[in-house]
Amino acid sequence: MRLDGARLDQILRILILPLAAPALSTATLFALLLACDEFFYALLFTAEQRSKTVTIAIADIAAGRSRTTG
């Protein structure tokens, strides 16, 4: 089914994107929350320098907490 006189890009912009906006924003919010949770779990549960993930090591360096252990 096509809208009268509308091209595909107009159908996407006028009809489909407004209907999909709540679902896209919800998925984005869930992805952000899961990423933050994963970061904080890694931050809390890694004690040794060699067991830290890359994101935690980068955050430590950015915060000026870089330390080297032998």
Per-residue model confidence as pLDDT tens digits over 17-39: 999 999 999 999 999 999 999 88
Judge whether 45 lies within some domain: yes
Judge whether 70 lies within some domain: no
Q: Which of 42, 38, 41, 37 shows the shortest CA–CA distance to 56?
A: 42
**Sorting pLDDT into bands at 50, 70 and 90, what band is 70?**
very low
Q: Which of 43, 49, 51 shows the shortest CA–CA distance to 68?
A: 49
Judge whether 43 lies within some domain: yes
**Sorting pLDDT into bands at 50, 70 and 90, what band is 51?**
confident
Q: Which of 39, 67, 33, 64 shows the shortest CA–CA distance to 53?
A: 39
d(CA 59, CA 68): 15
Judge whether 48 lies within some domain: yes
Judge whether 69 lies within some domain: no
**pTM greater than 0.75 (yes/no):** no
Instruction: Give the pLDDT confidence score for residue 43 in this predicted structure.
Output: 83
Instruction: Give the pLDDT confidence score for residue 18 in this predicted structure.
Output: 93
What range does the domain containing 30 cover?
8-63
Domain count of the fold of the chain: 1
